[in-house]
Structures are given as structure tokens and as C-alpha cells.
Structure 1
Amino acid sequence: MNTPTDTHTSFTLAGQPAARGIAIGRAVLAPSSRMDVAHDFITPAQVPAELARLAAAREAVAARLQRLRADMPRDTPAELSAMLDVHLMMLLDEVMAAETARWVRERHYNAEWAIATQLEVLSRQFDEMEDAYLRERKADVAQVAARLLRELRGVPASPLSAPAPLQALQDGAAAALPAPAGGSEASLVLIASDLSPADMLQFKKRVFAGFATDEGSSASHTAIVARSLDIPSVVGAGQASQRIRQDDVVIIDGDAGLIHVNPGPAMLEEYRGRRQQAERQRQRLAQIASTPAVTQDGQPIELLANIEQPADTAAALAASAVGVGLLRSEFLFMGREGRLPDEEEQYAAYSAAVQGMRGLPVTIRTVDVGADKPLDARHPSPHQNPAMSLRAIRWSLSEPAMFLVQLRAILRAAAHGPVQMLIPMLAHGSEIRQTLELIARARAQLQARGQAHGPCAVGAMIEIPAAALTAPLFLRHFDFLSIGTNDLVQYTLAIDRADPAVAHLYDPLHPAVLRLIAGTIAAGRAHGKPVCVCGEMAGDAAMTALLLGLGLRSFSMHPARILAVKQQILQSDASRLAAWAQAVIASDEPAELLAQRP
């Protein structure tokens, strides 16, 4: 019998790496969660019945997700349960439900058409966002809509329900799959158009070695969960689910973002070797989890975690983080159709994060949303550049009543443990003064109320070149600085990091970027105040030696990346790296010198 590598064409697809590692196995194609939607007008007399269908579908899907949430095993990553909560929040949001029902009541659309129309409205709002993380939340709305449509169609099962090879695996019959040429690969890899957090729960219960999706990016919820589960994966691979056939032999290269389909024996052997090497490396890294992060010349290094929601504190502690360097507060604000979280809701969320870290410090970034974010139904002018418009601290200062609510909630949470406050996108001295005045006012309001609150160090994000170039000004007013390298690269090089047409120009090693980072770190040292890097560069082990050589002593990153960075720290002599690091940032071609570290 011929194997797939004998009869099927070999080819390679490129996507975005979501979770590192190598997976080799047979393809399992997940049925698409998307459905054709009937666009039918109903009569006024049919409106009550159609609204009842909508409500029943919503209740049924919510009950199903709540059962999934309740039945999750204890070892389920916090990210997954938190994302199920996000889907439940969207599903049960009264504003979203009312807007969907309005299409039925006012336009006389059938229920399916109403859901599809509201999804289109929300999708346009998400597409206009500058922030890549928030823009990817469009996928969560689409997944909730898909579940409602399946319920209305009477096929409520998960998109992962029982494709044939998957069911065979559950029945212990995975060995029935024919082995590829050059060795035995009983593992399976999942190929899908997209995966929701609920699908990922099903995914965790199966025995998949890896997965690839047509949609998504490295900032999508699917990618975040994949990293928490430590499953090699590639997202945003275009037409993977159309081009790959059931039972094709597939290599998922989560390091390079590549999918090799029906590879030849030589490539299979090479990747098997890389997979074994990666497993040995994983075992070695696990042995240093409890080892303090100290360089060979005795420099203690602070390794912090970037988290999205309070539930992520469990992953931060498991990765041996010594605190949270960035808690994004946007999760409380997004997709609420203008209904902003009140002080009590914010206080409860921030307090949960503080208590979850068991006495370790938590840095809460004030909300990074603005005119381009889905706070209401307004749309920015088509001539606006969302990256340069009313966002982050600019938006907060334009809405002082809203900002005071958040500031009071953060200060109250500080009564439960060590809290720092981080202000995004500052550039002007006037913004600094206004921000500090509002923080003082929020504290005075709490004192007048007699409400408990705690001390809170205040820091500024350095993500605009103007801020980096005037770091001494910031250090006179703030307790610490945190460099957001993702936006700093974007603004320095005038590159929209979400635009695939110019993504190849996004270069963290550009001399201008490195010199701005080096200058900010040096300014912090001169003023005796800490500087942290919380962007993607902090979690890139290839950049660790350079950042150490530049004097960085505080790194904040996704929990899954902490051990790899710690290994680099333990192998480094920071004092010997200093001269080399200066040569790198002085070079016109820093990338060439990066590999020549002492």
C-alpha cells in the first residue's frame, strides 16, 4: 500500500508561530464552524417567536459553556478557563443581546441574519483597532456567533466533534492509521479554519501533537492558549484547511511558523531529531524553575510575567515569575458597546490579580484603548491613523471621570498587596502633570470616603521615541520606567506591525531602536530608578545577552518564555557583555554582531 508521502504532493505553508516546538503527525481536519446563513424577512407577527428562538439559543449555548467550565480538569491552564469566561461574558452581555434583537424587531430579520449582521458590525469595530491584541478579539466574537448559529441550526456540537480519525483515537484505534514512509507517526495534528477556547478544551482532552489554523495571529486567544498548553502550533496559515487533506503527514514547525505537508524521508528524519532535541531541552529547563535568576558575575535579574487577566496569575507563579510586570486592564473594557466597567467591577478584578500573586508585586497598566477601540458605536474618521489618534493615556485624560474610576479601583486594590501603576503612551510634560494630578485627586477622594487603599508606585511606559529621548524628564516624575518594545519599534520605524505588506520591515534590531532602548536603560541607571522591558524583546532568548549587556536587570514576558530566558541569564556574565553590547548598538548592522557575543 502506498503511503501519503508516495502519492500526495509535498508542499510548505507559511503562517505565524503561535507556540514553539515541533509536532509530526497525521492531519485531522476539523469541520468549519462557519455556516451559510439564511437571510429571510419575517412578518411582524413572527417577531416574538423569532426573539424567543434567539433567547433560547443564547441560554442553551451559555449552559453548555458553563458545563464545560465546571467539568474542566484541575490541570487545565488558567488561560483556557479565563477565555471561556470571556466567551460567556460576550454571550450574556445584555447590550450585545439587545443590539442583535433590534435587527429582528426593527428590520424584521430572521434570527440567523440578525446574528450575522451584528457580527459584521462588531467585526468592523475590531478591524479598526490599532492594538493587535484587542484587534484579535474579533475572533472571539465570531466564535460566539458561530455557536449561536449552530444552536439555531440544531447542530450544537463542538466543531471538533468526532471527525473519523479523532474518534478512532478515542476508541484506542489510532494504530489503524497507516505509518508514513521513514518511520511510525501515530500522533495526530489538527488542521482548522479557526479554534475557539471551548474547542481548545476539547483539544486538550484529545491526543493531538500540534495544530494549525487558517486564521489568527500570534496575539490571538488561540495562540495564547496554545502557548499555555505548550502545544506546537502555527496560526494565520491562509488556506491550510483547504489544501491539507485528511491523513496527510504534517510537520508543524512552531519555531519558524511553517507547515510542511507530506515531507520526504530526509525532512522527516531531520525534524524528528529536532523534536527529540527540543524535548531534552524542555527537561533541562524544568530543572532550573526554582533556581534564582542570577548571572555568573552575581547580578540578580528580575523575571516578571505579562498577563491578560487575573486568572493568569496561576501561570505566572508556575513559571517562577517574581511578580507581574504587566497586567493589561483592557480586558475589562473591550466589546462592551459603551458600557464601561464601574469602580467595583474593576476593583474586584484588580484585587483578584493581587491576591492571586500571593504577596508578589503586580503592575497594572491603565487602560490602553481610545477612539479606535469598541467602547461605543462611533467610528473614527477614515482619514485618522488609529495608531496616532486618541488612544491610551490621551483617551484617559480626555475622559477624566472614567480615568478617576480606574485610578480609584487600582489604589483600592493596592490595599491587598504590592501594586504598581503603569501609564501607557506618555510623550509630553503636560500629560505627565495631568496624570499625576488625577492620581493625587483619586487618592484624596478615597481618603474623603474613608475607603481603604494602599501605596502605589507609578511608572511610565516608554513606547514613543519622544519619550525615550526625554527619559530624564520622565525619571524626575516617575518611580520606574517600562519599555514597550512592540510599539517603540512601530513608532520609530513608521511600521504598522499588523500590516502584512510592511511586516518584513518591523525590525527590533534596527540601530535606531536599539539606541533608544540603550539610552532609556542608561538614564534609569543614572537616576537610580528601575527600568523594565515588557515587550516581545524581553521574552526573546536571542536578545537576552544584549539587554543584559545594556544594563537591563528587569524583564517581563509571557510566562511560557521565562525559563528559556532564565537559562540565558544563568549562562551570562553581565560585566563581560557590556563592551560587546555597546559595539552592537554602535554598529550599522547590529544583527551581524549579535551572534558574536562573548
Structure 2
Amino acid sequence: MSVQVFGLPVSRGVAIGRAVLVASSWVDVAHYFIEADQVGPEIRRLKAARDQVCREFEALKLDVQGDTPAELVALLDVHLMLLHDEVLASATRQWIEERHYNAEWAVAAQLETLSRQFDEMEDEYLRERKADLEQVAERLIRTLAAHSGHGDASALGPVVSCEGDVPVVLVANDISPADMMQFKGGVFRGFVTDVGGRTSHTAIVARSLDIPAVVGARDASRIIRQDDWIIIDGDAGLVIVDPSPMILEEYRFRQRQGQLERDRLARLRHRPAVSLDGQRVQLLANIELPSDAAAAVEAGAEGVGLFRSEFLFMNRGGRLPDEQEQYEAYRDVVIALRGLPVTIRTIDIGADKPLDRMSLSELRHEHSLNPAMGLRAIRWSLADPGMFMVQLRAILRAAQHGSVRLLVPMISHPGEIRAALDMIERARESLRRDGIAFGDVAVGAMIEVPAAALMLPIFLKHFDFISIGTNDLIQYTLAIDRADESVAHLYDPWHPAVLGLVASTIQATRAAGKEVCICGEMAGDAEFTEMLLAVGLRSFSMHPSQLPAIKQRILRTEIAALEPQAALALVGDDPRAIWAAGRVRALAAIAQVA
């Protein structure tokens, strides 16, 4: 029977596929398809891992002392029995033979299937045997991962790209941004999570992957079963489980229509973004990894307005990238942009983008109760000057290869301004002493907290340009955790305070003769394009996939005709309603003149 699950739409489009359920403790299991000729070797790899775990358990039984509790020996016997169970082994092999899953994925898929069966058992003793199954499966997956090229025994491997015959979608309680980054170019056509908000970093990365996604779907991971056919409607925030043939065909038609629309918009790729009244607008790209640079150029971006450098630091088992590795990554982006400007944001770690546990324990020594308000972004960098110096030197070295702008996140105190600029100057001096070539960089600051917006005149004295991070600015202005679906309805970009801070920052920065850009989610949301143009914004930075739709909106806008209505909306109680009504009147007037 078909079931509907509702959540928050965070990445548009339609995805149709088989559900791959990933419990939170299994999120790092490698997921990739194998070729047909690899089925035999993969099954042999699975058997070899099973045999190795069996030998380890047998050795443990031989090593136990005479005073070892009998229950421990019995537990080992249970685990050995599970490993030797031919029905279990056959079911796991079936995932490899029929779906072409890799061995780790096959074990995790079968575990999820059996876990549901154990949960439904009436006998309490039998239900508790689920823990034994999980322990055996974990040991087996770790053994497989330790002897593969797809990860180590602790991380359990990344998601890698391969083509398969069966489309799959990911269903989980939650997915960290670091894990989401591993899905770039991967096998999943979409994803659903129980938790999350529209502007959580997980949602942002989903949009950057340009795949349909629904978050905050509450009980999705408990309602959906492994291998269910599901539809993800990223426009409506709807997940349909076990759809009827009629519904399935309807959504397949919508998929085809969506692709036709993307193809049509792609034709605007090399057309300049100029409004109907001749206003030139700069469209830049947000990227997470050096490999994203090519997509930005291909999409017609006029540069990179935000390179989120923190993703170079994630999924590394606690080993931070050294200066040479960072330099090469930044250099590759600068060269790929072929002379176009590249804005590199210094590491923005914290909140919902932590490093892995090893790095946190080594570098922070504690766990913050409220990471969004704690040691993050520039605070984190200034607290670890050695790490910060390494990054600054790498960025300055990369600047010799092209136009580089250095962006400092989440500054809110004059002391932080002085400390950050001092560190940049010290990095220059250290490179001079070492005789290492480097280039000039423009230095900018992100406006992400109300304090920064309110002390903008001080920022404009010290920085060359301003970038508005609307995601955090909204979060901190309204005291709303943007990753918490329980307060998602209160996260409102149209709030008078938010619009007032954004508009005043744009207008004051331009009045001072300096550049201002928005790199938050508002920049890539067509609902806000005209409003932002009307209050003076002329530089937008977004994911490359969003560029065509925003460019189309700019090409159809007469900015001067909308400016009076924007001014009214900024002083009203309900900016959204005032803007919507005035926009309709303005467009009607333009149509009459035409």
C-alpha cells in the first residue's frame, strides 16, 4: 500500500529509486556498484572476510582462560553460528549478484532487512539477538574495509561513483555535511532524512549536488524499508513509498519535463546577466572542493564567490592538510578559473560542520554545548594560530597564479578584525623570510551576525570587500537553529529585521565604493532575486546549478521599476506581502508601456 511522508523541500526535482537505509552508525559504509565481471571476485572477497572473522573468533575461544564466564564462550559460539549460517550468507550474496552492490553495502543492506524482522518479533529473547547480528555485521564490514581500496577500518570507506542498473536513493536519520561530500558524483539519485532544516549545511550540500532531497521527514527511516521503491518530490517536500503505477508514471513524466527545462536554461550559460534596464549583474559560483571548479566554469560563472575551504579538512581521520596540499588545491582552482576571481573563505569549522572526532579531541579538547554559538569559524582559527598560519600561507602562495580574494568568516568583534589582519600580515612576512613567492590578495569579511552588520562602518575601514552570509545572519538575527526542523517554520528570510540588515549592508557598502556580494542561500533563490536587485545588489554567488534560473530572472527584470516597492517593503510590517503586491503592479505597468 502506498504511503506518503512529508518533510521540508530543500533541493528541487524528482528522484525515483530503491531505498537504501543507512542507520546513523553505518553512514560511512562504502556504497558503490560493481561491474558484472566483478561479481565473482566480490563474493570471494566477502567469503574471505567471513573466513577471517571466523578464525579470529575461534582464536578467541582458544585463548580464553579457564575462569572465563561460560556466557562469553556461548556468545562467541552464537557469533560463529551467525557467520556460518548459509541462509544469511546466501541472502547477502544475492545483493551482490542481483543488484551489483559491493560487499560492504550488501552486508549493511542485509543487516537492515534482518533488523526490521527482529524488531517485529514478539519473543523478547529473540528480539535481543539483534545485537549479536549487528556486532557480527560490524566486525565483517570492518574486515572488508580494512582490505579494500575504499577506506580504512575506522572510517569504513567513502561512497564512490559507479553506474548501476537500479537507481537508488538514500534514507537516513541524518547525514553530516562531511558524509554528504562523499556522495559527490556518487550512486544516489536523492536522499531523505528524518531531521534537518532548509538551510542546514546538509541541505546546502544537497543543493550543491543538484539532487532532489527532503529533510525533516520525521519517521521516514522507520517507515521506509530497505529496497522499497520510493519517489522523492523535492519541490513539495513529499516522499511516496511504494507508489502505484499511475503515480510512478506521473512522476517519471515530471522528471522528463524537469530535464527539458534544465536543458533550456543551459542555453543562457554564456549570455551576460544584464537587466532590462541595462544593469550589469555579476554571477559567481560557490564551490566546496577543487574538483567543483570545472563545473563552475562550464555553468558560465564569472568567478568563484565562495570556496568553502573547510571541506578540505574533513574525512581525514584527524590528519589536517599541510601547507603544500592546501596550496596545490587552491592553485588548481585558481588555474581552472582562467583568470576569473576566486574568493577563498578561511576554514569555517564548527556548528553543523565539525571535523571528525579525532581532530576535535586533538584541537579543541572539549565539546561545546551549543556549537553554533561556540568556537567556530574565525574564532576557531584564531584559537589555533599554527593551523591558521598554514592556511594563510597556502592561500597567499596560490594568489601568484591568478586573482585571489581572501574571505574571513563570522567576525563580530573589532579585536577579531585586528587579530585576523595581523595574522595575514605575519603570513606575508613569513613567506618573505622563507623566500617563497606569493601574490596580492584582496581581504574581505563575511557579515553573518547582527553585530557585524551594525558595526559595518568599522568593517569598511579595514576590509576591501564585504560578503553577506545570509544563512547564518538569519539564524543569529532570529535566534533560530537552522538545522532544527522543530523551529524551521520560524526561519524567515522575509523577516523585517533580516531584510533590513541585508539591505542596509548592501547600500552602505556600495556607498563606500566597495564591493558587496551575497553568498548565502538567498542568492540562489529566485524568489529573492528581484528584491535583492531592487535594494542594490549587483553580485550574487550560488551553486553552479542555480546560475541559469537566476540569470533568467535577471534578464527579465527592470530594476528601476521595482526600487520604490522595495523601499516600501523594507519599512512595512509584512515585507513579503507588500513586495508581492507591489511587484505585480510594477510588472503590469511595465507590460502596458511595452
- TM-score exceeds 0.5: yes
Distance 1:244 1:31, change over 3 A: closer
Distance 1:595 1:41, change over 3 A: farther
Distance across 2 between alignment mates of 1:448 and 1:192: 53
**1:257 aligned onto 2:241:** no
**1:446 aligned onto 2:431:** yes
* Candidates 10, 13, 22, aligned match of 2:5: 13
Distance 1:489 1:448, change over 3 A: same
Could you say which residue in structure 1 is the equivalent of 2:93?
Answer: none
Deviation at 1:306, TM superposition (A): 0.7
Distance across 2 between alignment mates of 1:142 and 1:254: 34
* Candidates 353, 360, 374, aligned match of 2:333: 353
* Candidates 390, 394, 400, aligned match of 1:409: 394
Deviations 1:201-232, CA, capped at 9 Å, x for gaps? 6737xxxxx54434686789997786566543
- Scaled by the length of structure 1, the TM-score of the pair is 0.68
Deviation at 1:463, TM superposition (A): 0.3
Could you say which residue in structure 1 is the equivalent of 2:273?
Answer: 293
Deviations 1:376-430, CA, capped at 9 Å, x for gaps? 3267766742222222112222222322221111111000110000001111222
**1:532 aligned onto 2:517:** yes
580-589 or 459-468, which moves further after superposition?
A: 580-589
* Candidates 5, 8, 14, aligned match of 1:22: 14
Could you say which residue in structure 1 is the equivalent of 2:574?
Answer: 589
Deviation at 1:144, TM superposition (A): 7.8
Could you say which residue in structure 2 is the equivalent of 1:282?
Answer: 262
Please list, as runs of the form range in 1=range in 2, the aligned pairs for 1:80-159 lying within 5 A after superposition: 112=138, 145-146=155-156
* Candidates 369, 381, 391, aligned match of 2:349: 369
- Taking only the aligned residue pairs, the percentage that are identical comes to 53
Distance 1:44 1:219, change over 3 A: farther
What residue identity is the alignment partner of 1:590?
P
Distance across 1 between alignment mates of 2:527 and 2:326: 37
Deviation at 1:364, TM superposition (A): 0.5
Distance across 2 between alignment mates of 1:403 and 1:202: 32
Distance across 1 between alignment mates of 2:387 and 2:230: 50
Please list, as runs of the form range in 1=range in 2, the aligned pairs for 1:286-365 lying within 5 A after superposition: 286-336=266-316, 338-365=318-345
Deviation at 1:305, TM superposition (A): 0.7
Deviation at 1:450, TM superposition (A): 1.9
**1:455 aligned onto 2:435:** no
What residue identity is the alignment partner of 1:213?
V
Distance across 1 between alignment mates of 2:421 and 2:183: 44
- Scaled by the length of structure 2, the TM-score of the pair is 0.69
The alignment partner of 1:595 has SS state of helix
Deviation at 1:318, TM superposition (A): 1.3
Distance 1:254 1:142, change over 3 A: farther
Deviation at 1:593, TM superposition (A): 2.5
Q: Aligned residue pairs: how many?
A: 470
Deviations 1:539-571, CA, capped at 9 Å, x for gaps? 101110010011000101111111111111111
Distance across 2 between alignment mates of 1:345 and 1:158: 22
445-454 or 193-202, which moves further after superposition?
A: 193-202
Distance 1:277 1:111, change over 3 A: closer
* Candidates 201, 214, 218, aligned match of 1:234: 214
Could you say which residue in structure 2 is the equivalent of 1:213?
Answer: 192
Alignment check: 8 A CA contact 1:354 1:416 kept:
yes
Distance across 2 between alignment mates of 1:295 and 1:533: 18
Distance across 2 between alignment mates of 1:528 and 1:202: 44
Deviation at 1:143, TM superposition (A): 11
Could you say which residue in structure 1 is the equivalent of 2:106?
Answer: none
The alignment partner of 2:276 has SS state of coil
RMSD over aligned Cα, in angstroms?
4.2
Distance across 2 between alignment mates of 1:484 and 1:329: 15
What residue identity is the alignment partner of 2:11?
A
412-421 or 334-343, which moves further after superposition?
A: 334-343
Alignment check: 8 A CA contact 1:191 1:241 kept:
no
Deviation at 1:22, TM superposition (A): 3.1
Distance across 1 between alignment mates of 2:375 and 2:160: 40
Distance 1:586 1:274, change over 3 A: farther
Please list, as runs of the form range in 1=range in 2, the aligned pairs for 1:447-596 lying within 5 A after superposition: 447-596=432-581
What residue identity is the alignment partner of 2:361?
A
Distance across 2 between alignment mates of 1:383 and 1:145: 23
Alignment check: 8 A CA contact 1:191 1:240 kept:
no
Distance 1:242 1:382, change over 3 A: closer
Deviation at 1:278, TM superposition (A): 3.6
Distance 1:45 1:291, change over 3 A: farther
The alignment partner of 2:9 has SS state of strand
Distance across 2 between alignment mates of 1:330 and 1:435: 17
Distance across 2 between alignment mates of 1:273 and 1:161: 23
Distance across 2 between alignment mates of 1:568 and 1:438: 41
